[in-house]
């Protein structure tokens, strides 16, 4: 497993990030623990979670599963670069969501308790808070750093100008600011190429793409559909209908390359200069094994060009839509 620095920080993380959103609602605790052990065996040291994950088991359940795994010892916490997130409302009461100084303090302490650890490596804003001023947010984060409860700050689902503003306000306070941004990014969804990726590169952030397979649409859905193994409904079915021709061409091209479609989708992300580590969210050990396969897929210039033909991307704004 290769490791790389997270943005401009000195922190080294694996080229794949283990997403834990399925732990609990989709994957039982014992199987979740086994997947995390297997991830360490592969050399994956970067784990991502959030305080709201838990699905039908309730918000916080996923952090509790991760915390229970840490509590089994064996150096599991020490070998893990742990990222969690706050923003979403944890209850119906005021101040139990968003990025106020009060919620940052309460949410962080609650996550630390569930995770059974005394610090989080990367504490991430799950969304931008348009009502809370950056002076308040950064003061609360500075306090958490001084207390030793967090080491770095990260963002998720920020626009390019949100990143630029956050970093400008942090520099004004002589604070490090953000070291990473999580965004949806894959061959089908490339909007962040307009302004988020330029902002990430200009400000020295590591990019952590989520939904690298676009909810499975880049994981061989046409082949599975033909075999009767998968039938899509709702928004996924609508997206497939809108992009069927491109997805068919993509799966055919993956076959020409001799790789599974999902492996090619992950490999494409790993070939993008801004990308630190795509988030993989396995429900099973087999899905983890499949994701790791992508690390061995090399795409030459011709292959990357063909993928751009199938799924056109964006130029940096404003040249994408103006001169």
Q: Which residues are catalytic?
A: 53
Place of tokens 């790993």: 270
The C-alpha atoms of residue 73 and residue 40 are separated, in whole angstroms, by 13
How much of the chain is in helix, strand and coil states, percent to nearest 5? 45, 15, 40
Q: What are the DSSP calls for 134-196, one per residue?
A: HHHHHHHHHHHHHTTSEEEEEEES--HHHHHHHHHHHHHTT---EEEEEEE-SSS--GGGTTH
Contacts 24+ apart (CB under 8 A), 51-54: 51/84, 51/85, 51/86, 51/88, 51/90, 51/107, 51/110, 51/111, 51/114, 52/85, 52/87, 52/88, 52/90, 52/126, 53/20, 53/21, 53/23, 53/24, 54/24, 54/25
Dihedral-angle region of residue 155 (phi above 0 means left; psi in -120 to 50 means alpha; beta otherwise): beta
Q: Which two tokens stand for residue 264?
A: 């090619």
Q: How many CB atoms lie within 10 A of CB 142?
A: 16
> CA nearest 169: which of 208, 103, 210, 125?
125
């Amino acid at each position: 497993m290769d490791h790389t620095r997270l943005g401009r920080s000195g922190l080294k993380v694996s080229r794949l990030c283990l997403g834990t959103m399925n732990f609990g609602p989709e994957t039982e605790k014992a199987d979740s623990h086994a997947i995390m052990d297997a991830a360490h065996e592969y050399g994956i040291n970067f784990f991502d979670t959030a305080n709201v994950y838990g699905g039908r088991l309730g918000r916080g359940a996923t952090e509790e599963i991760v915390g229970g795994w840490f509590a089994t010892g064996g150096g599991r916490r020490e070998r893990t670069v742990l990222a969690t997130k706050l923003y979403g409302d944890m209850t119906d009461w005021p101040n139990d969501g968003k990025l106020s100084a009060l919620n940052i303090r309460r949410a962080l302490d609650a996550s630390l308790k569930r995770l059974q650890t005394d610090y989080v490596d990367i504490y991430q804003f799950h969304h931008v808070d348009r009502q809370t001023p950056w002076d308040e947010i950064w003061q609360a984060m500075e306090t958490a750093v001084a207390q030793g409860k967090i080491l770095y700050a990260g963002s998720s689902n920020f626009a390019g100008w949100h990143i630029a503003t956050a970093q400008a306000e942090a520099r004004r306070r002589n604070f490090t600011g953000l070291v990473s941004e999580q965004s949806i990014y894959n061959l089908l969804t490339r909007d962040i190429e307009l302004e988020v990726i330029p902002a990430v590169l200009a400000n020295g952030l590591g990019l952590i793409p989520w939904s690298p397979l676009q909810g499975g649409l880049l994981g061989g859905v046409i082949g599975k559909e033909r075999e009767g193994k998968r039938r899509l409904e709702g928004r996924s079915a609508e997206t497939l209908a809108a992009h069927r021709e491109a997805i068919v061409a993509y799966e055919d091209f993956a076959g020409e390359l001799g790789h599974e479609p999902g492996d090619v989708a992950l490999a494409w992300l790993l070939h993008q200069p801004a990308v630190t580590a795509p988030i993989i969210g396995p429900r099973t050990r087999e899905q983890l094994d499949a994701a790791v396969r992508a690390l061995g897929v090399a795409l030459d210039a011709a292959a990357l060009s063909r993928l751009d033909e199938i799924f056109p991307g964006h130029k940096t704004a404003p040249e994408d839509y103006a001169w």
